[in-house]
Structure 1
């Protein structure tokens, strides 16, 4: 049963049959999914955003990301959000991994992309987005994770997954 419908998600209460034969009533967020982008200016420098998040009332460092619009492919979301939030357009963009950021409360599937060969075309964030664009070396970003300066899960996962796949960096 739907109990709330918003612009980005809906909230439901439903009963689920569990593999152990029991039934569980669960509240959850139904989400269209989202795209996250790890944009590289060159082999050592990435673009991140420092964004004010009113829900937690803090500025945090993040990779650019956004919700998949109705009928939109996640790759198109990634391209759109990269331009909107950072002002950069990618000539090359490739898929890295999909993941569920919070499967206990939401069905949101995040699609992580790497973007290279960037060209600045001008940002146009949503009016409610308070964003500063930052150029950060990949090594500094890793240190920021260690120092707990980066606390956003999608950003931590994106940077660490990239590093895991590219051990020689």
Structure 2
């Protein structure tokens, strides 16, 4: 048994969407009491810390409906069924930025919101970028603007909350640690 494990008694599916599934689990707590857990099931995602030859970070600005605002993020995207994370990383970098990369390095994976979701993001660093001759198409409901900025500019954007998501803040912190 895992420390503080909650054993599932029943699972009730609530919603099955394009990106997520929602379920409510009845669980037995470590003290024997029963509780409900609302859980978002997600197929996982990748995120890419893309660094240009000049040492700039490649970012995209896009509108995030859940926040009702635009934010600046590292390129990222959902893993398709049966797809390896590195394949997703290559595809998403090309689609969102118009860049390919000669070298991808897996950095680490982490949970985004473990209190209610099972989404795991697999983080890669992309170097030796090259401009694609023909830019890959974005998803039909995706609108992004490309930015290439210095680490100092990225740190300022975190302070200004223009960079507002955890994966991108993590990327900026990682870059800062690499450059000290």
- Tell me the TM-score normalised to structure 1 length: 0.92
More relative contact order, 1 or 2 (CA 8 Å, 6+ apart): 1
1:5-154 → structure 2 map (5 Å cutoff): 5-42=16-53, 44-121=55-132, 122-154=135-167
Cα distance in 2 for residues equivalent to 1:51 and 1:110: 19
Q: How many residues align?
A: 167
Cα distance in 2 for residues equivalent to 1:4 and 1:66: 21
Evaluate the alpha carbon distance shift between residue 91 and residue 148 of structure 1 in structure 2; reply closer, same or farther with a 3 A threshold: same
Cα RMSD of the aligned pairs, angstroms, is 1.5
Cα distance in 2 for residues equivalent to 1:154 and 1:19: 32
Cα deviation per residue 1:10-29 (whole Å; 9 max; x = unaligned)?
10011223334333211110
SS at match of 1:51: strand
8 Å CA contact 1:88–1:123 kept in 2: the answer is no
Cα deviation per residue 1:35-94 (whole Å; 9 max; x = unaligned)?
000100125201100111223221110011001100111111111111111111111001
Cα deviation per residue 1:83-106 (whole Å; 9 max; x = unaligned)?
111111111001112111111110
Q: What is the CA distance between 1:167 and its match in structure 2?
A: 4.3
**5+ residue gaps in structure 2?**
1-11
Evaluate the alpha carbon distance shift between residue 163 and residue 19 of structure 1 in structure 2; reply closer, same or farther with a 3 A threshold: farther
8 Å CA contact 2:64–2:70 kept in 1: the answer is yes
**5+ residue gaps in structure 1?**
none
Match of 1:158 in 2: 171
Match of 2:7 in 1: none
Q: What is the CA distance between 1:7 and its match in structure 2?
A: 1.3
Cα distance in 1 for residues equivalent to 2:33 and 2:86: 38
